[in-house]
């Protein structure tokens, strides 16, 4: 998959499953031009789980220095 020109990534109903996490981590680590990544959490996710998902995703390295999550 080529991520050279991806600038914006939006995922809806993010639930924090392992495969979702792996996908988001892959995009963050390989999208050279990524500026903004937006995740909308599933309604089934409570506030504590949201904070833990954000903390875990924030620890992942990113290729683009301008990427915000």
Q: 4 exposed, middle or buried (CB, 10 Å; 0-12, 13-18, 19+)?
A: exposed
pLDDT at res. 1: 56
- Whether 40 is covered by a domain: the verdict is yes
Give tens-digit pLDDT for 35-54. Answer: 999 989 888 888 999 899 98
Calpha distance 58→44 (Å, rounded): 21
Farthest CA pair distance, the chain:
34
pTM: 0.81
In the beta sheet, which residues pair with residue 55? none
Structure tokens that stand for 63 in this block: 């290729």
pLDDT at res. 2: 60
pLDDT at res. 26: 92
- Whether 64 is covered by a domain: the verdict is no
Given a cut of 50, the residues of the chain with pLDDT beneath it are none
Total domains in the chain come to: 1
- Whether 28 is covered by a domain: the verdict is yes
- Whether 1 is covered by a domain: the verdict is no
């Amino acid at each position: 998959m080529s991520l050279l020109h991806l600038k914006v990534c939006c995922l809806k109903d993010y639930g924090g499953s392992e495969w979702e996490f792996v996908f988001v981590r892959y995009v963050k680590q390989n999208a050279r031009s990524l500026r903004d990544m937006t995740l909308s959490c599933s309604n089934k996710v409570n506030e504590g789980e949201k904070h833990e998902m954000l903390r875990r995703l924030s620890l992942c390295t990113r290729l683009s220095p301008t990427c915000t999550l």
